[in-house]
Amino acid sequence: MTAQSTTGVSVEELSDLVEFDVPFETAGDATVICEIPGVQAPDYVHDDISPDGWQLQSGWSGQQSAAGRYRGPTMHPSETLSSAMAAHVLTGPGRWVVTAAYSTSPDGPDDEPCGWYLLKAEDRT
């Protein structure tokens, strides 16, 4: 796998550029580096629990309910990595990944995703 760098990425293009479970980096200047050698996505993310080394990103969903706007990390399957979320990713340097969200019922983990998550790698200092 060879890292692929794309410059001048717009908020409209980001969702089409990145793939589920393939970490990517942003430089903060609309440069996106995909397919980073040696970097793996978390195996399984469920119940809004951040996996080791990654932080779930919250507050980006446009979902509404009678209780008000949903501010948690689970994005609805119909939502995309675009708009304000994409602008946040493109202007904030870091390592990111989009991955499926799973929930756990009393019978155990669901096999089908209930949505998706955007995760940011914790600082590697």
First to last CA, the chain: 25
Mean of pLDDT over the chain = 89
Burial class (CB in 10 A: 0-12, 13-18, 19+), 40: exposed
Give pTM, 2 decimals.
Answer: 0.88
Tell me the sheet residues that pair with 109.
104
Amino acid at 93: P
Q: Among 2-11, 15-24, 75-84, where is mean pLDDT lowest?
A: 2-11
Mean pLDDT across 47-71: 88
pLDDT in tens, 69-107: 888 899 999 999 999 999 999 998 999 999 998 877 777
